C-alpha cells in the first residue's frame, strides 16, 4: 500500500499516483484542550514521519490536527472513547 502511495509499483498496471495525502490527528474529549491539541499534532506528525521514512515525498503530505474538536463518536467531556483517539490518512 505504501509503495502505491509513494508513486506506484511499475509492475502494477492498476497503480495510481496520489497527488495529495492528508494526515489528520484527533483525540477524545478527556483532558484540557491545549494538551489534546498538542497530542493530536504529535500523533499526526508521527504518522507523517512514518510515511516519509517509507518513501512518501514530504511535499505530498499535508498535516492537520483538531484535538477534541472533531470526535468520531460524540461523547460528553471527560468520557474516554478510544475510537476518537486516531489519525486519519486521506489519499486524493
pLDDT of residue 10: 54
pTM of the model: 0.85
Q: What is the pLDDT of residues 25-48, one digit of tens each?
A: 999 999 999 999 999 999 999 999
Cell triple for residue 77?
467531556
Please choose, from the candidates 8, 16, 12, 10, the residue with its C-alpha nearest in 3D space to the C-alpha of residue 56. 8
Question: How far, in Å, CA of 9 to CA of 11, rounded?
Answer: 5
Q: What are phi and psi of 22, to 5 degrees?
A: -100, 130
Q: What is the pLDDT of residues 41-92, one digit of tens each?
A: 999 999 999 999 999 999 999 999 999 999 999 999 999 999 999 999 999 9
Amino acid at each position: 500500500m505504501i509503495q502505491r502511495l509513494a508513486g506506484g509499483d511499475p509492475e502494477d498496471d492498476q497503480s495510481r499516483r496520489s497527488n495529495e495525502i492528508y494526515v489528520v490527528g484527533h483525540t477524545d474529549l478527556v483532558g484540557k484542550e491545549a494538551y489534546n491539541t498538542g497530542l493530536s499534532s504529535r500523533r499526526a506528525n508521527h504518522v507523517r514521519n512514518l510515511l516519509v521514512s517509507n518513501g512518501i515525498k514530504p511535499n505530498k503530505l499535508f498535516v492537520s490536527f483538531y484535538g477534541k474538536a472533531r470526535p468520531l463518536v460524540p461523547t460528553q467531556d471527560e468520557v474516554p472513547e478510544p475510537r476518537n483517539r486516531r489519525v486519519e490518512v486521506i489519499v486524493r
